[in-house]
Amino acid sequence: MANFTRRKFIQVAGGAAAISTLGFPAIVGAAGGKKVVVVGGGVGGATAAKYIRMADSSIDVTLIEPNTEYYTCFMSNEVLSGHRKMESIKVTYDGLKGHGVNVVHDTVTDIDAAGKKVMTAGGQTFEFDRCVVAPGISFQDNIEGYDAAAMEKMPHAWKAGEQTVLLRKQLEAMPDGGVVAIAAPPNPFRCPPGPYERACQIGMYLQAHKPKSKLIIMDAKDKFSKMGLFKQAFERYYKGTIEWVGASDGGKVTRVDAATNTLYVGDTAHKVDVANVIPAQKAAAIAEKAGLTNDAGWCPIDGRSFESSMQPGVHVIGDASVASPLPKSGYAANSEAKVCAAAIVELLNGREPGDPALVNTCYSVVGPNDAISVAMVYDLQDGKLGKVSGSGGLTPSDSSPEMRSREVQYAYSWFENIKNDSWG
């Protein structure tokens, strides 16, 4: 019970705070009713908040998110190629307000599962009957020298926003004939096909504007998502431009020197013009602080309700949760959020959650008029999330240009719909 002392402390501290601010509305919504607090306004958190309200408008839902606008990670690679503007990956919280979600822009500093309270940096305390934690990811220290300062020099761009803009600017500033490196992370990580789609998107930019340049993907793994289809795209569109180096061939970056833009694989130095370093990942810090994470840094859950296996009453969805075999993708987060929302509505109305149904669909735009996808249907099998046998799979490697071009249009359709389904 490593968390016991900490939680005790929170209870005491929380009590003290309430007393010290007597007369002020420090404890929000303390009287009666059914209250849900959602921590995090990414795709998972936003969808959960919206779908709880859609299913039962008698439930009081508060979503706490520090940012007033959010940039989707999905499609942010198209910003790097210049095919898309930042504006198009921006969403706001106005849509959720329309569903009666109480949106609070503040940073959650702790979650007291036993005391059923969420605390924020702004000094507010929110009581809950059920809490949904959708905090996204943070980074592990698997690459020596990749600290906060190095991030500003060698952007990860793995949380869309300023980092995306920074990486784009670096690509624009790079001379023709320069070398771009993408250091791809070890499993598990947010958006498994992301680094490779990014390579394709940057590849399109280089070929159009800086044709003498090269892009090298230095990978911490030997295999990756949609590998056959990506390798086909590298060969088809980016021969001589994109090179992939797996871990066993010296691709695993162990150290960086941000001052000289150098990536090291052991003692071997690779000096590049633009370095996009994507470190290993884990659940965001708040999940760890709230006692929701396992030894690997991710949050185990019950697949029926996404309730934490570690803290009853708290549910974890999206990239932070261990929902395998679902990947850490936007669609998975959206799908998990709906299962979680339905379960919470049942639980708060004194009923047992029903069986879940989930889907993942993920598109990667790999070339001009060419997108590939992976899809899968999931359900609960012997109490655990599992793939529905016979369902899903990849775009066939011999699919026609006509079908690939349709996949681009469906990718853009998916993007508009999932944005609207989550935040709209």
Partner 1 sequence: MGCNKKALVALIGSVLMVGATQVNAEPTATMLANTCAGCHGTEGKSVGPASPNLAGISKAYFIDSMNGFKNDERPGTIMNRIAKGYSEAQIDAMAAYFAGLPVYKAEVPHDAAKAKMGAEVYDKSCAKCHDENGALPDDDAGILAGQWLPFLEYSMADFQGGHREMPKKMKKQVEKLSDDEIAAVLNYFASQK
Q: Is 379 in the site for partner 1 (CB under 8 A)?
A: yes
Of 177, 212, 393, 397, the one binding partner 1 by CB under 8 A: 393
Q: Which is nearer to partner 1, 324 or 413 (CB)?
A: 413
Cα separation, 37 vs 129, whole angstroms: 8
Which of 167/362 has CB closer to partner 1? 362
Distance of CA 402 to the CA centre of its chain: 31
Q: How many CA atoms within 13 Å lie on the side-chain side of 235?
A: 7
Q: Name 369's Cβ contacts closer than 8 Å, sequence gap at least 6.
A: 401, 404, 405, 408
Of 22-30, 153-161, 172-180, 412-420, which segment contacts partner 1 by CB under 8 A? 412-420
Q: Provide φ and ψ at 371, rounded to 5°.
A: -130, 150
The piece of 25-33, 244-252, 281-289, 388-396 that touches partner 1 (CB under 8 A) is 388-396
| Residue selected from 142, 302, 357, 386 as contacting partner 1 according to rule CB under 8 A | 357
Choose, by CB under 8 A, the member of 82, 391, 398, 401 that binds partner 1: 391
Q: Which is nearer to partner 1, 194 or 330 (CB)?
A: 330
For position 280 contacting partner 1 by CB under 8 A, the verdict is no
The residues that bridge with 363 in the sheet, in sequence order, are 373
Check binding of 386 to partner 1 (CB under 8 A). Answer: no
Helices of type H across 174-281: 194-209, 227-237
Cβ nearer to partner 1, comparing 309 with 409: 409
Give DSSP secondary structure letters for 60-112.
EEEEE-S-SEEE-STTHHHHHHTSS-GGGGEEESHHHHHTT-EEE---EEEEE
Instruction: Report the distance separating Cα 274 and Cα 215, nearest Å.
Output: 9
Q: Which of 356, 364, 367, 370 touches partner 1 (CB under 8 A)?
A: 356
Alpha-carbon gap, residue 19 to 12, rounded angstroms: 11
Please, which residue, 67 or 381, has the CB nearer to partner 1? 381
Binding mask 312-351 for partner 1 (x = CB under 8 A): -------------------x--xx--xx--x---------
**Does the protein bind partner 1 through residue 51 (CB under 8 A)?**
yes
Q: Minimum distance from CB of 355 to partner 1 (Å)? A: 5
Q: What is the C-alpha separation between 46 and 424, in angstroms, rounded? A: 9
Q: Does residue 376 interact with partner 1 by CB under 8 A?
A: yes
Question: By CB neighbour count within 10 A (0-12 exposed, 13-18 middle, 19+ buried), where does 263 fall?
Answer: buried
Other CB atoms within 10 A of residue 353 CB:
18
CB of 392 to partner 1, least distance (A): 5
Q: Rule CB under 8 A: which residues touch partner 1?
A: 51, 55, 331, 334-335, 338-339, 342, 352, 354-359, 361, 373, 375-377, 379, 383, 388, 390-393, 395, 399, 402-403, 406-407, 409-410, 412-414, 416-418, 420-421, 424
